[in-house]
Amino acid sequence: MQHTIPLFPLSQGLFPDGMLPLQIFEVRYLDLIKRCYQQQQAFGVAWIKQGSEVQVPGEIPSLHKIGCMAHIREFEQVQPTFFRVLCQGGLRFHLHDVQPGPYGVWQGSVTTIAQDPEVEVPTVLQAHADRLGKVIASAQQQGVAEKLPIFPPFHLDKCGWLANRYTRLSPSARS
């Protein structure tokens, strides 16, 4: 079933259970983020194909058709017009249509996509799970696990979780 959500277009993707730190300063997002935090509502993160994160008059951003719901885990109001938030990815969605909304916040007509099936990591990919596990263990031993861009729990035995972490950490996901 389609429903409408507020969109936050970004030049990077968000994946289920992924971490997304944001610095909010654009007027169009200050109200949205504060309201979402206070009402414990999610918003949609849509990966920009073409266009800018910062609003350009008359420009309609071209967005990828698959996005991810973002849930605010931490909220800090540094100044009245500057927030720091830490979001966690929820369910993916299929973006059908984009329309301008109140205060310049894009609205998307979306259909939620089911959660990734729980598939065990196959033997051929176990080395990747082990490698990420070593990075996590090393960070924990050094007392810097909170600096990892990964939320616990760490599902190193689940193929979808592992694929989402590697995809997010890859250089192409950040460009």
pLDDT for the residue numbered 52:
63
CA distances from 25 to 33, 34, 106, 135 (A): 10, 12, 16, 33
Judge whether 120 and 159 are in contact, CB under 8 Å. Answer: yes
With respect to residue 117, please indicate whether it lies within any of the assigned structural domains: no
Q: Which helix (H) or strand (E) covers residue 29, if one does?
A: helix 27-38
Q: What is the pLDDT of the chain when averaged over all its residues? A: 90
Tens of pLDDT, residue by residue over 100-113, are: 888 889 999 999 99
With respect to residue 92, please indicate whether it lies within any of the assigned structural domains: yes
Same domain, 16 and 93: yes
With respect to residue 48, please indicate whether it lies within any of the assigned structural domains: yes
Q: In 3-state terms, what secondary structure has residue 45?
A: strand
Domain range enclosing 138: 123-174
With respect to residue 72, please indicate whether it lies within any of the assigned structural domains: yes
148 or 42: whose pLDDT is higher? 42
Same domain, 108 and 127: no
CATH number for the domain harbouring residue 87: 2.30.130.40
Say whether the peptide bond before residue 149 is cis (omega within 30 degrees of 0).
Answer: no
Same domain, 101 and 127: no
pLDDT grade, residue 50 (50/70/90)? confident
Tens of pLDDT, residue by residue over 158-169, are: 999 999 998 877
With respect to residue 118, please indicate whether it lies within any of the assigned structural domains: no
Q: How many domains does the chain have?
A: 2
Same domain, 128 and 94: no
Same domain, 26 and 69: yes
Per-residue pLDDT, averaged over 145-157, amounts to 89
CA-based end-to-end distance of the chain: 32
Tell how many helices (H) and how many strands (E) occur in the chain: 3, 6
Q: Give the pTM.
A: 0.88
CA distances from 126 to 26, 113, 160 (A): 43, 27, 13
Tens of pLDDT, residue by residue over 55-87, are: 666 677 789 999 999 999 999 999 999 999 999
Residue 174 has pLDDT above 50, yes or no: no
